[in-house]
Amino acid sequence: MTPNKSQNAKHKPHKNHLMTGNEAIGEGAVRAGCALYAGYPITPQNELTAFMSYRMKEKSRIFIQSESEIAAISMVFGASVAGKRAMTSSSSPGISLKQEGISYLAGCRLPGVIVNVMRGGPGLGNIAPSQADYFQAVKGGGHGDYHIIVLAPSSVEEAMSLTMLAFDLSDTYRVPAMILTDGILGQMMEPVGISKFQFKTAGFIKKPWALTGAKGRKPRVIKSLWLKPGALEGFNIKLQQTYKKIKDKEARQETFYCNDAELIVVAYGSVSRTAKAAVRVLRSKGKRVGLLRPITLWPFPEQAIKRYAKKTKKFLTVEMSAGQMVEDVRLAVEGKAKVSFYGRMGGGIPSQNEIEKEISKLLSLRGA
Amino acid sequence: MTLQRVFKKPVSLIDVPTHYCAGCGHGIIHRIIAEVIDELAIRERIIAIAPVGCAVLAYDYWNFDTTEAAHGRCPAVATAIKRTMPDNIVFTYQGDGDLAAIGTAETVHAANRGDNITVIFVNNGVYGMTGGQMAPTTLIGQRTATTQHGRNAACDGHPLKILEMLAVLEGVCYLERTSVESPANIIKTKQAVKKAFKNQIENKGFSMVEVLSMCPTYTGRSIESSIKWIKERVSKDYPLGVLKDRV
């Protein structure tokens, strides 16, 4: 795939800059002050790696095409140890490789941003879009009791803004953050109001724990190994307290026509756009349907869903998977509503028609 | 006449007892590194990366900034630290599993990129921390927890010569193999380690010292016999000397 000539031109602050989701994520990282990017080629995020290979150098930052996805996450670990903002990106199989590294980031309380542009799986799968890594992203993926903050953009511009947010949240809480997106969003092009996103030059969160060389101070250690009896449990208790703080403060969602909805569709990322179109059409026909789009997948917007479940008794979760987020929707409604699922797997993409049909079918069923 | 202190423990070594077995080479090598760092006056610039293995707790003994790394990934971590903090002196300290088994790719590629880092490779021919299993550097016929009838080339391959493999790479500046089984070789090890750190200070590039070390506990030997083992057997398969010196 030959790079687009305009991709190689120096970026001028246009009012609306046409870019791919992959590029927007990259530009967002650069504007957020990302000091190091390490990545390994894998479809469908190669545009991001290629973009970073020249954009990072333009801004005198560090770009490394690493020997593997494992080396890349280890490089993020290294830069983070030194107090620098760092990012890596991959797609599903490569994200599987990074799981140990992510667990280490979590265990060492290191910030870092990981981008997953999801593709069909399991195994080698295909290069079509998917949302089948939700469990991996949100329920752990790596070993141990930890969470990472997971952000799911649904537009190219949101991909840029959420990437910048990921760096801030990651630094604030010392928790790794993931941008969970898919091949559609990664490769589609949309205009971005790029001048809204200022280059961050000040206000970086201080890192008094970073390794910078023990000059004029006691040496510091970054580790996740706690061998003394009770020490690791004590550390885990502190981690869980941090996660609780994040759950209380950082859940984000977008709601569309939910207040009087008889049925709420829950969808994220690319699927949420199709679902929104379906909801719009059905609303124009007088059907009381709405859309709840989680923006943070962890922390999951369970409070918002719980609130709506008081009045809305039908939820339809639509995903490009066999049904992963649907489990969190079921947990969130606490039995107060009926939660249905519609999905496509292995790179299949739900169409607006399919979603409309599914909603209509559920609306016509007798109440929960 | 007042007494003058003419010899003391290095500032870069924390004055605590170590957990290493009697006769283990780690204690000697930790001390060599600490003395070198003191003599080169770089303690305040050091960022060290500890391995997974017996030396996983090295940061309990080192008086400078140290980080953990996932098993085998020290060179990748080091690359990132050095490229984002070029004025710091960055070194990794790794055993044979960390560097030449699970971490082979990271070792080869950091060397190939020619990253200006220092790698100290402690080769004791066995996996100590986990109970004495075969290492890539275990000798043919050597008995370990996973080669109970002795390492057999047909199913286990031959001892891996990672230093020799790295010598063909353009990006590598300096490679030397030394040992700590005798006072004379301990002195040579210190000289090699000093050179490997000096190269980094002078921006000369990737420098690595492989140190043949004793593991009496898991080579099933007495301390004296594990010293003889290096003299008579290991150093035949792993000859001491400079393998590359671009300086």
Q: Which DSSP string corresponds to B215-237?
A: -TTTTT--HHHHHHHIIIIIHHH
| Full residue range of the structural domain in which residue A80 is found | 9-196
Domain boundary among A196, A223, A245: A196
Nearest residue in chain A measured CA to CA from B105: A67
Interface with B, mutate which of A63, A84, A222 (most B CBs under 10 A): A222
A75 and A164 in a single domain? The answer is: yes
CA distance A14 to A12: 6
Instruction: Estimate to the nearest angstrom the gap between the alpha carbon of B151 and the chain centroid.
Output: 23
Is residue A26 situated within a structural domain? Answer: yes
DSSP E strand boundaries for A40-82: 62-65
CA distance B93 to B118: 9
Low pLDDT (below 50) residues in chain B: none
Global pTM reads 0.95
A82 and A175 in a single domain? The answer is: yes
Q: How far is B225 from chain A (nearest CA, A)?
A: 32
Q: Which amino acid is at B93?
A: Y
A192 and A339 in a single domain? The answer is: no
CA distance B10 to A367: 77
A14 and A161 in a single domain? The answer is: yes
A19 and A121 in a single domain? The answer is: yes
Domain boundary among A196, A227, A262: A196
Low pLDDT (below 70) residues in chain A: 1-14, 367-368
A109 and A36 in a single domain? The answer is: yes
CA distance A300 to A152: 11
CATH number of the CATH domain containing A268: 3.40.50.920
In sequence order, what are the beta bridge partners of A291? A256, A265
Structure token pair of residue A20 = 């791919």
Q: Which domains does chain B have, with CATH numbers?
A: 26-245 (3.40.50.970)
Is residue A141 situated within a structural domain? Answer: yes
pLDDT tens readout for residues A214-270: 999 999 999 999 999 999 999 999 999 999 999 999 999 999 999 999 999 999 999
Predicted interface score ipTM higher than 0.90: yes
DSSP string, B86-147: TTSEEEEEEEHHHHHTTTHHHHHHHHHHT-S-EEEEEE-SEETTTTSEE-TTPPTT--BTTB
Q: How many domains does chain A have?
A: 2
A62 and A188 in a single domain? The answer is: yes
Q: List CB contacts (< 8 A) between B45 and chain A.
A: 213, 215
CATH number of the CATH domain containing A158: 3.40.50.970
DSSP string, A140-171: -SSSSS---EEE--SSHHHHHHHHHHHHHHHH
Asked if A214 and B69 come within 8 Å (Cβ–Cβ), the reply is no
Asked if A79 and B80 come within 8 Å (Cβ–Cβ), the reply is yes
Q: How far is B14 from chain A (nearest CA, A)?
A: 11
Is residue A229 situated within a structural domain? Answer: no
Asked if A82 and B88 come within 8 Å (Cβ–Cβ), the reply is yes
Is residue A131 situated within a structural domain? Answer: yes
Asked if A213 and B66 come within 8 Å (Cβ–Cβ), the reply is no
Q: List CB contacts (< 8 A) between A68 and chain B.
A: 105
Structure token pair of residue B229 = 């083992």
A20 and A149 in a single domain? The answer is: yes
CA distance B136 to B133: 10
A42 and A125 in a single domain? The answer is: yes
pLDDT tens readout for residues B120-179: 999 999 999 999 999 999 999 999 999 999 999 999 999 999 999 999 999 999 999 999
